[in-house]
Chain A
């Protein structure tokens, strides 16, 4: 049995020996916001913040997260109020099918938390691990640019 904090709430779970954090979040803790597009650490759709680090939850062993603090896409908005990253993605057309969106929300939130004024190239580099097949990244770039300008 492991104990961890997800989005501020305490959780306990008994994950399988080879089970990923992604699977535990989705299938045991009922947090289906993190998505599973590759389960190989290549697409970023499962991005979460684990003890302050951005990780692909599909690559983290659930059993290793005992005692950790995790923030998932479900923990980004403040109740009914969307975060500024979420607002900007909506306003700038950064969401189409939306499958990559939870990962982008988490990764962009982490980027702005750690580097409040990233250059274009910083954004491209920081988000290069999150694949979007729909938007061509244009709307996502505009969202991040808008946030940079406001900051």
Chain B
């Protein structure tokens, strides 16, 4: 039985306030003027006509930014508003505040910007040749070779996180030169630091408040409208609200990096993997965001969860004039997993070996070293267990129902049941947990016991994953008090929880909550001279010695804790070192039905076995697994931002296809519990692994069904149909 979500009831009643639902007395609406060109010089920016519209209260440009003009999570290189040159299509150039949303939009349309269009760099390979890179990262180790060799070239497309809640927020000036910003974000304190720098204010003058978040998946790691809102509010002296519309959201946040990958695998005839060479180019787009870290992750996991004696990885994050790319669920591990798992299937084929046996033969285990970094694996690494558990799960019955809604193509009624071929594919993936490469990664939590129960104060973002439930559960089980609530403090009231990303919050904020609650319990028992605590108070044996009210009469019993995971280190010049704090693995098996003549696909079923360390809330874990798999389905067969000369051609839910209920496979999930060496109760982060190997498993299944050599995702109808017509002609 899983504990219920405390935010569930307001959410089903429609009463939960998301950041787009906020309002304030006298509020203005903000909007953004965006570049219509992928690359252009800004010759003139004239705001007079916009300001002349009745109701328009402010039009601001880069010259109105009083502090640092640049922002960025790792390297501040992105102008708050374009300065001199617009470097991607949709880049913010000016912001407008007006009495209502319509007037703000009219104001934005009236801002005159004269551009000289410049030729955009849109090809990451050309960018690399010109030295336009954010990071070049090489891993070299060992010189073993193998006698059985396979090579392949693979590509992954640009995926969008598409959280249902678009970017939105409300900034309220405090009348004393400071501002309160209510915002949906993955990392309140990282936003705060960047907003403060750009506003040129003292940290205490800017307070960030967590507002209701409608999904994130990496889209809310970087700043979008945070500084814009504060600038407008400070400039007008009035509260300002902004809500991106869907098309704006598609360019208002960073995306999953498209990848081009070349791979060479060498093995012994018995299947022992000896050497992996890879070249990986990620398109980072116009600004750095987290490209450096995403790139490193692609490289660190370029071999997958397998032993290998020799590794050569050359990885490049290119700078282009495409939309900036950054964090998205799986963070670089997704791209290389598609490469190495496609290669493992190819290698199995060349060896005449069962692909699952090949994976088992090379599976990493505790005590091994990760082949790329050489880091000794401490903690749990149940690669064999996830593979064997998944292999033992029964395959679904082969009922290809004649109901057109279940056939590829769905209600389009394009595919007769007789045209359907079925395939099964398998893949395994690995992901690091929490931040790597020596980053000082911590999470702060304050536990406070008062007359009404226990309160857990945090700044950690509840993006939908269920952290709020896990923190409450930890509070209950650590103290014995049943009345527990989670409260989000502002940046002025609590320290950073770090980001709700890298699958880290259950471990990090969960770990901090556990220590804080344990300390509160110990102090309560000491003060009450008892041996047990509950909602009534402190007990000694069967006797209640002090009530909660008496115990906390002089104030709450409080404990602030900062949790840190095992220390990590930057890599050496060969890309080697103890760079990660831990790992999680998962395996996926997909069953697909395909109409090969038309190239139509239905993902029927996805089974998974996932390493969860310890499932703190099984229902929340299953929710992460099912939702994560669906994003893997999306990348495999439909989700891609299409760029033409740097312009997004499908920035809408009409043209960017998300999996619907009709596209959803049934999912069976087995949770492998093998407690890890850190994190509360041995728990591991669970959010990302479902998205990593589900994509290659689905593509392997489509290959098995059709025989088509599919090397790019998302798989397009023509990729299947063209190869099928060639094959059926022969």
A residues with a Cβ closer than 8 A to B are 16, 26, 31-40, 42-43, 45, 72-74, 76-77, 82, 86, 89-91, 93, 95-102, 105, 121, 123-125, 127-141
Contacts and interface: CB of A to CB of B under 8 A. Distances in A.
B619 A99 contact: no
Given A95-B8, A136-B628, 20 more contacts: A32-B17, A40-B246, A40-B654, A82-B9, A89-B12, A93-B623, A97-B165, A98-B8, A98-B12, A102-B11, A105-B12, A125-B411, A134-B623, A135-B626, A136-B623, A136-B625, A136-B630, A137-B630, A138-B623, A140-B661
A16 B105 CA distance: 15
B522 interface: no
A98 B619 contact: no
Interface in B594-626: 619-620, 622-623, 625-626
A26 B619 CA distance: 32
In the complex, which range does the number of interface residues on chain B fall in? 35 or more
A136 B14 contact: no
A36 B466 CA distance: 23
Nearest to A104: B12
13 contacts: A32-B17, A37-B164, A37-B165, A77-B13, A82-B13, A97-B213, A97-B214, A101-B11, A124-B661, A124-B664, A128-B661, A136-B664, A137-B664
Q: Output the residue of A26, A77, A137 with the most chain B CB within 10 A.
A: A137
Contacts of B661: 123-125, 127-128, 130, 137, 140-141
Interface string B666-700: 01000000000000000000000000000000000
A48 to B, nearest CB: 11
B626 A136 contact: yes
A100 B12 CA distance: 10
B7 interface: yes
A121 B602 CA distance: 14
A134 B622 CA distance: 11
Nearest to A97: B464
Given A40-B246, A135-B627, A32 B21 contact: yes
Contacts of B119: none
A35 B164 contact: yes
Contact of B246 (A39, A89, A97): A39
B619 A93 contact: yes
Interface in B1-46: 2, 4-5, 7-9, 11-18, 20-21
B727 to A, nearest CB: 32
B588 to A, nearest CB: 13
A123 B405 CA distance: 11
B435 interface: no
A144 to B, nearest CB: 10
B548 interface: no
Q: Which 8 A-B pairs have the closest CB atoms?
A: A33-B14, A97-B464, A98-B11, A99-B214, A136-B626, A73-B14, A42-B653, A138-B626
